[in-house]
Amino acid sequence: MTIVQINTTIAQMLDYTTPILFAALCGVLSESSGVVNIGLDGIMRFGAFFGLLGAFMSNTPWIGLLFGIGIGCLVGALHAFITIKWNGDQTVSGTAINVIATGLMTYLLEYVFSTTGYSPQLQNYFGAQEYRIHLLFLEKIPVIGAFSNLSFMIWLGFICTILVHVLLYHTVLGLRIRTCGENPRAATTLGINVFRVRWFAVVAGAALAGIGGAALSISSFSGFSDSMPNGVGFIGLAAMIFGKWTPFGALGAALLFGTGQIAQSIIAVTGIAPKLAPGLTLILPYVLTLAVLAGFVGKSVAPAADGLPYYKEQR
Amino acid sequence: MKALEVHNISKMFPGNLANDNISFSVEKGEIFAIVGENGAGKSTLMNIIYGIYTPTAGEIYVNEQKARIRSAEDAIQLHMGMVHQEFMLIPRFTVAQNIVVGDEPRKGIFFDYTRAVREVKELSDKVALTVDATAITGDLPVGVQQRVEILKVLRRGAEILIFDEPTAVLTPEETQELFVTMRKLQSQGKTILFISHKLKEVMDIADRIAVLRRGKVQGIVNKKDTNEEELARMMVGRNVVLEIPKVEASVGPVAFSCHDLRVKNARGMETVRDISFDVRGGEIVGIAGVQGNGQDELVNAMIGFTRPTSGSMELNGKSMRLVTTAELRRQGMSYITEDRARRGLVMPYTVRDNSVMGQHLNAPFSRGLRMNYDKIAEFAEGKVREYDIRPGDVLDTAGSLSGGNQQKLILARELSLPHNFLIASQPTRGLDVGATEFVYRKLLEEKKSGKAILLISLELSEILGLSDRILVMFEGHIVGETTPDKTTEEALGLLMLGVGVDRKVVS
């Protein structure tokens, strides 16, 4: 492979990585506070559709990004309302969000655009040349050169990783979020409002998942497709676990899974693909996810109170 | 001046009046003890004072001012601090993080960890409680973790400290250290509420004592005007036999024996080394020893949880090699554990379901795939009456019972299994006098009916009072065998610490 090919492949890999990363960061933030958000795949679907909608209506991807954040917060608030306010089962609420997202987006796609399967394509999206971050001086360097021409969303993913890390490990709020995820009763005895902290973590996390969805429809691709997000949210959850519930761990895991995605294309290029049954390479990233989870899940420890509703007066 | 006054506090839980019109007052600088059996309402009362629970009725005054305490935050504002029975610590956090969380030193929105460490060091120097501020809390011994808890409440400016059964998790040495700490705090002008059911400790540390029974105050007494017997009587509502009566039983055949047993612990260290002994029907063999000298691993091997590295065990003459726990139980082994939450009971399950666990697949409790819940409930109700398990509704979850009632439930289940060998591992740990007396009575009944009993305990009075023969364990070895009439607490205590033991035997 030439330098250009290597760099393009890596850039493509980063493109696949970004939505996974956002999903994983959503999980890290939410679960650090003790709320499992299995609905993040559905939230990504919301984000993908509304991101496209915003970008389509305004003809600028920035509005699409805002739409993605907004819808993420809204659906996150629904999850928080059910699981924190009413102590609903977190898995059931998350699954419901996934199911609603599947049906509602298909409906909205037909209702708004009168099409099935695919939305109209965007001219102005983060993947378009004029919206990319150009660092041309890097172009000729192997590997690093991959960073010379990336979508804004990819950089946003890296920035959010750092932000979530700083939030969780270097701010007062972060220490409190983790306290609520480890021992909400202890948090209560210290005068921390567990409900408020969890609300924040769930909604902020869901905003990240919303961005992750938008990253699919207005950055990696230039439109919404009905199959989005194609299980990326669940791969993100796997990345969160593999990354031991830490932001940088999640980044590492997302990069690994992104590589799994790109491996498909590499296999196609090398010419092995025709010898395999059609579609078999498509399951590669998912097989990788399973393999990694089977191998590592035992060694990665979740926050102690993860997934448990909190009743203040429980005896 | 009165630091704290409680007027007519009541707390109603669904179907259970946990606190019934409770009133008392505590002077500033006093160590005030609240004693009562498990389930008497002590912890509920403390949680009300600390704002975790909302009282159904009543008023609280702090420093002679009416206080409105609706959350822990309110309590902290009023300079109250609580050292909880279960530590409110995050094992993954460092000591400094645990101490400052909720009231963190900050730089803008950022958490200033360096300053947190410094502040914790300064505080620990000032009140003379030593801790390593940067250690991971979960790695520390329990006594040190408790010190972290105390520092945590002191840092929030606590003037009134509530200790909720602080000694339940401590070794005797750690308890003595805690008392030194409490006196130190008292000399610094702090007011201390000490919740306990251990009368000896209360008599040791408190200035005044309030006795609670079934949610009501039975009386408030000065320590110097009372004694353990009187307190026990007030707590239980009748005379309590703290002395253990002698029960004679004819010794039968060997029920359990082991030879040259060696067992490794979870970390691969050999903690049971070359142990041989046997237990006969109609006798209680006591194993004395300081915690962590191989008792846990010995029990694990006996009940089939871990496989010994070498040696042999026999139950009723049959080899126990590769026999499963379920099969051992069928062959006549019963097991009472001190770890009620993880081994003894399934806490979210009801009293009814817990009462038959292990024999739930036998008639009449089930037939084929179908459980016969009517029969199970009938059985459970019988046991609840027989063992006086309170509050007595068989549909309550095991987790909602007090420790003493949980232990009664375990006894009820284990003793109703057909068995001739009983392992009682610290059977009275965390129990109050009433429940302890009950356990003793049951163990002696068992002995009388010809059962073989192995008693593992850290309480020497228990070992001396109940056992027919005593084995002392030290660093995995049995370093001595004696009988209660040939030894004293002091002599046993020395043996347990390895004093006078031939080091060549031990190494």
User: For residue B507, what pLDDT is reported?
Assistant: 41
CB contact under 8 A, A182 and B109: no
In this structure, the strands spanning B160-164 and B110-111 are unpaired
Q: Are strands B477-482 and B421-425 parallel, antiparallel or unpaired?
A: unpaired
Q: How close, in Å, is residue B398 to chain A by CA atoms?
A: 11
Domains identified in chain A, total number: 1
Strands B106-107 and B110-111: antiparallel
Task: Give chain B's residues under pLDDT 50.
Answer: 504-507
CATH number at residue A53: 1.10.3470
Q: Which of A165, A168, A171, A190 to mutate to test the interface with B (most CBs of B within 10 A)?
A: A190
Percent of chain B with pLDDT over 70: 97
The CATH architecture that domain B2-236 belongs to is: 3-Layer(aba) Sandwich (3.40)
- For residue B160, the model assigns a pLDDT of 94
d(CA B361, CA B352): 14
Q: Which residue of A has its CA nearest to B73?
A: A191
Query: What's the Cα-to-Cα distance from B311 to each of A225, B40, B339, rounded to whole Å?
Result: 67, 47, 27
Instruction: Give residues with Cβ within 8 angstroms of A212, minimum separation 6.
Output: A18, A19, A20, A21, A22, A23, A26, A40, A44, A47, A229, A232, A233, A236
Contacts 24+ apart (CB under 8 A), A59-65: A59/A123, A59/A124, A60/A124, A61/A122, A61/A124, A61/A125, A61/A126, A61/A131, A61/A218, A61/A219, A64/A125, A64/A214, A64/A217, A64/A218, A65/A126, A65/A153, A65/A211, A65/A214, A65/A218
CA-nearest residue to A190 within chain B is B102
Contact in structure between B462 and B243 (CB atoms under 8 Å): no
Q: Is A62 within 8 Å of A211 (Cβ atoms)?
A: no
Domain positions in chain B are 2-236, 254-332+418-506, 346-417
> Per-residue pLDDT tens for A207-247?
999 999 999 999 999 999 999 998 899 999 999 998 999 99
pLDDT at B293: 86
Task: Give the nearest chain A residue to B51 (CA atoms).
Answer: A189
**Of B72, B109, B110, Cβ closest to residue A190:** B72
Q: How confident is the model at residue A98 (pLDDT cuts 50, 70, 90)?
A: very high
pLDDT confidence of residue B506: 47
- Select the residue of A176, A182, A189 nearest B72 (Cβ to Cβ): A189
DSSP secondary structure letters along B430-473: T--HHHHHHHHHHHHHHHHTT-EEEEEES-HHHHHHH-SEEEEE
Closest CA to B32 of B57, B7, B3, B60: B3
State CA B309 to chain mean position distance.
31
Q: Closest Cα partner for B355 from B313, B392, B312?
A: B392
Nearest-neighbour CA in chain B from A228: distance (Å): 37
Distance CA A146, CA A124 (A): 22
- Phi and psi for A154 in degrees, rounded to 5? -65, -45
- Is A101 domain-assigned? yes
Residues 145-164 of B with CB under 8 A from A: 152
Torsion of CA B94, B99, B105, B106, to 10 degrees: 50
Q: Does A313 touch chain B (CB under 8 A)?
A: yes
Nearest to B109 among A173, A185, A190 (CB): A173
> Is B254-332+418-506 in the same CATH topology as B2-236?
yes
Q: For residue A174, is it within any domain?
A: yes
Domain ranges, residue A162: 3-299
Long-range pairs for A292-296: beta carbons < 8 A, 24 or more residues apart: A292/A238, A292/A242, A292/A253, A292/A256, A292/A257, A293/A238, A293/A241, A293/A242, A296/A241, A296/A242
Is A172 part of the contact surface with chain B (CB cutoff 8 Å)? yes
Do the Cβ atoms of A258 and A16 come closer than 8 Å? yes
Q: Does A174 touch chain B (CB under 8 A)?
A: yes
Identify the CATH class of B254-332+418-506: alpha beta
Higher pLDDT, A130 or A53: A53
Tell me the H-state helices in B215-359. Answer: 228-236, 295-302, 325-330, 351-355
Residue A121: its pLDDT value, please? 92
CB distance B111–A170 less than 8 Å?
A: yes
Nearest Cα residue in chain A from B397: A315
User: Is residue A214 assigned to a domain?
Assistant: yes
Q: Which pLDDT belongs to residue A207?
A: 97
Closest CB from A170, A175, A312 relative to B101 = A175
A272 domain-assigned: yes
Whether A185 and chain B come into contact, CB under 8 Å, resolves to: yes
Residues 386-405 of B with CB under 8 A from A: 400
Query: What DSSP character marks residue A225?
Result: B
How far is residue A207 from each of residues A160, B2, B502, measured CA to CA in Å?
A: 11, 52, 68
pTM of the model: 0.74
Do B320 and B257 touch, CB atoms closer than 8 A? no
State whether B90 and A186 contact (CB < 8 Å): yes
pLDDT tens-place string over residues B131-166: 999 999 988 888 889 999 999 989 988 999 999 888
A-chain residues near B54 (CB < 8 A): 313
Token pair 């059977």: residue: B427
Give, for B31, the enclosing helix (H) or strand (E). strand B31-36
How many other CB atoms sit within 10 Å of the CB of residue B454?
25
Residues of chain B neighbouring A313 (CB-CB closer than 8 A): 52-54
Give me the residue label for tokens 């429980």.
A314
Report yes or no on A313 lying in a domain.
Answer: no
pLDDT recorded at residue B115: 94
Q: Do A171 and B13 touch (CB under 8 A)?
A: no
User: Residues 297..316 of B with a Cβ closer than 8 Å to A: which?
Assistant: none
Q: Does A171 touch chain B (CB under 8 A)?
A: yes
Strand B31-36 and strand B208-213: pairing? parallel
Q: What is the ipTM of this complex?
A: 0.84
- The pLDDT tens digits for A188-213 are 888 899 999 999 999 999 999 999 99
Nearest one of B354, B466, B342 to B410, comparing CA atoms: B354
Put simply, the answer to whether B72 touches A188 (Cβ < 8 Å) is yes
Contacts of B153 in chain A (CB under 8 A): none
Q: What is the distance in angstroms between the Cα of A131 and the nearest Cα belonging to chain B?
A: 33
What pLDDT digit, counting tens, does each position of A254-299 carry?
998 888 878 777 776 666 656 666 677 777 777 877 887 777 655 6
Concatenating the DSSP letter of every residue in B326-394 gives HHHHHTTEEEE-S-IIIII--TTSBHHHHHTTTTTTSTTTEETTEE-HHHHHHHHHHHHHHHT-SS--T
The verdict on a CB contact (< 8 Å) between A313 and B53 is yes
The dihedral over CA atoms of B441, B443, B448, B449, expressed in degrees to the nearest 10, equals 120
